[in-house]
Amino acid sequence: MAQRRRMQVAGVVQGVGFRPFVYGLAHRHELGGFVLNDARGVVIEVEGAKEKLDRFAAALVEQAPPLARISALETSEIEPRGEREFAIARSAEDGERTALVPADTATCDDCLRELFDPADRRYRYPFLNCTNCGPRFTIIRGVPYDRANTSMASFELCGRCRREYEDPADRRFHAEPTCCPDCGPRLSLELERAVTLLREGKIVAIKGLGGYHLACDAASEQAVARLRAKKGREEKPLAVMTSEPELLVELGVEEEALLRSAERPIVLARRRADAPIAASVAPGNEWLGVMLPYTPLHHLLCADFAGALVMTSGNLSDEPIAFENGEAERRLGAVADAFLSHDRPIERRCEDSVVRAAFPIRRSRGYAPAAIPLPVPARKPLVAAGAELKSTFCVVRRDQAFLSPHLGDLDTELAYRAFRTDLELYLQMLAVEPELLACDLHPDYLSSKWARGRGLELVEVQHHHAHAAACLAENGETGPALALVLDGTGYGPDGTIWGGELLRFDLTDFERVSHLDPVPLPGGEAAVREPWRIAAAYLERAERPVRLADWPRVRESLKVNAPLSAGAGRLFDAASALVGVRERVSYEGQAAIELEQLAGHVEAEPYRCREEDGRILGVELIAAAHDDLTAGRDRAEIAAAFHEGVALAFSEACARAAEPRTVVLSGGCFQNLRLLASTRRRLEEHGFRVLVHHLLPPNDACISFGQAAIATYASF
Ligand SMILES: [Zn+2]
Ligand SMILES: [Zn+2]
């Protein structure tokens, strides 16, 4: 006696070979019916003997394709129709659109074999892909995910590609972006030509998955220096693409796994002393960001060039990455000597992701737009606008938070435009119309101004409360908890700059238990670029002599432009300038990064500082460092004692606060591995449970998610 079941499958089930998989499964179990994509995911109807239906249902979950993520499966019994054949039916366009869009995926091994097989008809074709790999998020215009809804719509399949696409036994069965040299996209420049130019030390702008890279020979000091000068990037490390990462960096098990994952992020690993690359790729930095080639074009480039390539985002300084053909030529024309472009449009920008073994630093290509679950579902669809540096936004549909890719620093008109267009695209893709908005309390952030101008219900969230909430919510919890939030800058409700905070909080509210004692920043923003100014302000507060030629002049600025800052980032800047690591910086966080490297694994007793009326006297750490320096103590030991001192001061503040017994750690300073490890160890010794970031970056890129968690709770 035949039964018929209808199954609605939700999750990442479109564009990952799910329908062909279901088709094959139904055939193996001799079931009739159909499978189709709809706006919510995949719908299956199967008909046959009960035992076979049961086995089919079990296999559906257990054997799902590698890139599929089933988040919900609803099954109902329906009236049998006597159907014997199984078919892939046309997509249903109507209904509420909640299907999850898959992320872009690195070229799979099967496709790689074809790419380098002279007998294959796709031999050396830079755009080959299949159901298990290729572009997704960056070519999608809407859901359901079908070729017609991607930027491949304008490339009509040739006869042979069509046969593969329609053959259930073929590995390209319903591979939406599939194509070949006869019917697919083409390069704008001969690959050989591009490789020759790179060998000659030229800069080539290369169109990738989510935007353009600027590429040059990573071994050529001259080429790298020229790229830096033209891009306006003095010292911030540049990422390198290589098919032999083991020549450049030391790889642990975790780094190796991340490098080879389908997401193919840039992985920060320790640079080998004998790495055959120019020193100027990552000056003064022990860490190097490396990635493997992840598109067929990259594989061909790396194979033909036979060396490591600098592959840095196609932009000037911290602007959004260029991704449209005309736009790229306009913006990068003065930097690049040539363009290796192609005619497959990129629908949305998506920069490379950057990760460390423990946590991401930039969550973007390969990860976006995968949803991060919220601990409670939102009653209303909402948008959280994020912060300003390392900007992201976050769109919430029920209990799913969809973070944007990295948008760069939201302090230029160009970046603000990108924020608005990318948000519009996200809302379209997710079919969300927000009824609630969240933003930072800051009066001047462009993201906050945008949110305030929409005329919708608005939740304004304090910067460090958002940090704390992000870490708590990504760990699936709602609090209450304590939070140590150590970062550079965030607007405090009292009008001063916060950033060295111990909060007691949950997803509705927070209390500032204690904080770093604020110091004036002589010259405001200028002090962030010139940490010696902050060191001088600290030394003066510590009643130590300031022996700096410029100080008398800069000291005058204390009277006119010296906002108070409790930012832990500034305390690190001061220590760094004091021990002579870094008096000026050319990118955010540089001074602290170099201080961390100086400290290395050197052991030292922590410097001590007192807390008075909820103010942690960071000035005493600087005074101790100054006195040791004057006494001729080793600088690495001073850097180590300072790191341990910060960790000790904040963990003891938690111990005094005592309750609750969970502490979350967030803020850009916790990208400092020594600070993170030491703080964590000390808190655990006090018996606290410690939660850290692992899905989201500890820096301001997590702010939008934290705002979303708080606004969700507010709407609950
Ligand atoms: Zn493939
Ligand atoms: Zn073709």
* Residue 456: predicted pLDDT: 96
CA of 653 to the centre of ligand 2 (A): 65
pLDDT band at 98 (very low <50, low <70, confident <90, very high): low
Strand partners, 10: 72
Identify residue 280 by its one-letter amino acid code: S
| Average pLDDT rounded to a whole number, residues 352-373 | 93
pLDDT score, position 233: 86
User: pTM value?
Assistant: 0.90
More confident residue, 570 or 581: 570
At 438 the pLDDT is 98
Please give the pLDDT value at position 168: 78
Q: Residue 555 has what pLDDT?
A: 84
Q: Which ligand ends up closest to the CA of 130? A: 1
Helix (H, G, I), strand (E, B) or coil at 643: helix
Residue 243: how many CB atoms within 10 A of its CB? 16
Q: Which ligand is closest in space to the CA of residue 133?
A: 1
Map residue 570 onto helix, strand or coil: helix
Handedness of CA 417, 421, 422, 424 (dihedral sign): positive
Cα(338) to ligand 2 centroid in Å equals 28
Describe the chain by its helix, strand, coil percentages, rounded to 5.
35, 20, 45
- Asked whether 384 and 451 are in contact (CB, 8 A), the reply is no
Return phi, psi of residue 160, to 5°: -70, -40
What is the pLDDT, as a whole number, of residue 524?
A: 85
* Confidence check: pLDDT of 533 > 70: yes
Task: Kindly identify the ligand whose nearest atom is closest to the C-alpha of 125.
Answer: 2
Residue 538: CB partners within 8 Å, gap ≥ 6?
519, 571, 574, 578, 618, 619, 622
- Give, in order, the Cα–Cα distances in Å from 174 to each of 9, 130, 524, 551: 18, 9, 57, 68
CA of 260 to the centre of ligand 1 (A): 15
- pLDDT (average), residues 86-95: 77
Residues 655-684 as b or e (16 or more Cβ within 10 Å = b): eebeeeebbbbbbbbbbbebbbebbbebbe
Centre of ligand 2 from the C-alpha of residue 105, in Å: 21
Pair 403, 422: CB distance under 8 Å = no
Residue 94: is its pLDDT beyond 80?
no
- Determine contact, residues 534/573, Cβ cutoff 8 Å: yes
Using the predicted structure, report yes or no on whether residue 95 has a pLDDT greater than 90: no
pLDDT digits (tens, 9 = 90+) for 162-197: 999 988 788 998 899 999 999 999 999 999 999 999
Q: Which residues pair with 35 in a beta bridge?
A: 44, 88
157 CA to middle of ligand 2, Å?
A: 5
**Residue 254 — φ and ψ, nearest 5°?**
-65, -45
| pLDDT level of residue 32 (50, 70, 90 thresholds) | very high
Q: How far is the CA of 179 from the centre of ligand 2 (A)?
A: 5
Decide if pLDDT at 408 tops 90: no
652-697, pLDDT tens digit by residue?
A: 999 999 999 999 999 999 999 999 999 999 999 999 999 999 999 9
More confident residue, 317 or 367: 367
Distance CA 443, CA 654 (A): 30
Rounded percentage of the chain residues whose pLDDT exceeds 70: 98
Task: Name the more confident of 688 and 323.
Answer: 688
> 514 C-alpha to center of ligand 2: Å?
64
Q: What's the 118 CA to ligand 2 centre distance in angstroms?
A: 17
Residue 356 parent element (H or E): none
Q: What pLDDT is recorded for position 619?
A: 97
Ligand nearest to the CA of 172: 1
Q: Listing from the earlier edge strand, what are the strands of the sheet with 400-403? A: 372-373, 400-403, 394-397, 382-384, 436-440, 457-461
* Closest C-alpha among 285, 267, 233, 269 to residue 352: 267
Q: Give the chain's mean pLDDT.
A: 93
Q: Using CA atoms, how far apart are residues 669 and 326, in angstroms rounded to an integer?
A: 39
715 falls in which pLDDT band (50, 70, 90)? confident
Does the pLDDT of residue 716 top 90, yes or no?
no
Q: Is 437 helix (H, G, I), strand (E, B) or coil?
A: strand
The alpha carbon of 175 and the centre of ligand 1 are apart by a number of angstroms equal to: 9
Cα separation, 85 vs 319, whole angstroms: 54
Ligand 1 center to 595 CA (angstroms): 44
Q: How far is CA 702 from CA 240, 283, 393, 464, 467, in A?
A: 25, 28, 9, 11, 7
Alpha-carbon distance 226 to 223, whole Å? 5
Tell me the ligand closest to 181's alpha carbon: 2
Rounded to the nearest whole angstrom, what is the distance from the C-alpha of residue 291 to the centroid of ligand 1?
Answer: 19
Give the environment of ion ligand 2: residues with CB less than 5 A: 158, 161, 180, 182-183
In 3D space, the residue among 693, 675, 668 whose CA is nearest the CA of residue 358 turns out to be 693
The answer on pLDDT for 404 being more than 80 is yes
What pLDDT score was predicted for residue 549?
74
Ligand at minimal distance from the CA of 121 is 2
pLDDT of 97 > 70? The answer is no
Q: What is the pLDDT of residue 398?
A: 87
**Are 48 and 82 spatial neighbours (Cβ–Cβ below 8 Å)?**
no
The whole-number pLDDT of residue 599 equals 95
- 346, 348, 354, 360 alpha-carbon torsion, rounded to 10°: -150
Mean pLDDT computed over 268-276: 94
CA distance 279 to 596: 20
pLDDT of residue 693: 97
Q: Which residues are CB-neighbours of 585 under 8 A, at least 6 positions away?
A: 528, 529, 530, 531, 573, 591
Kindly tell me if the per-residue pLDDT of 67 is higher than 90: no
Q: What is the C-alpha separation between 19 and 77, in angstroms, rounded?
A: 21
Ligand approaching nearest to the C-alpha of 294: 1
CB 694, CB 358: distance < 8 Å: yes
Ligand 1 centroid to Cα of residue 109, in Å, is: 7
Question: Mean pLDDT, to the nearest integer, of 53-66?
Answer: 92
pLDDT tens digits, one per residue of 189-231: 999 999 999 999 999 999 999 999 999 999 999 999 999 999 9
Compute the distance from residue 159 Cα to the ligand 1 centre, in Å.
20
Confidence of residue 96 (pLDDT cuts 50, 70, 90): low
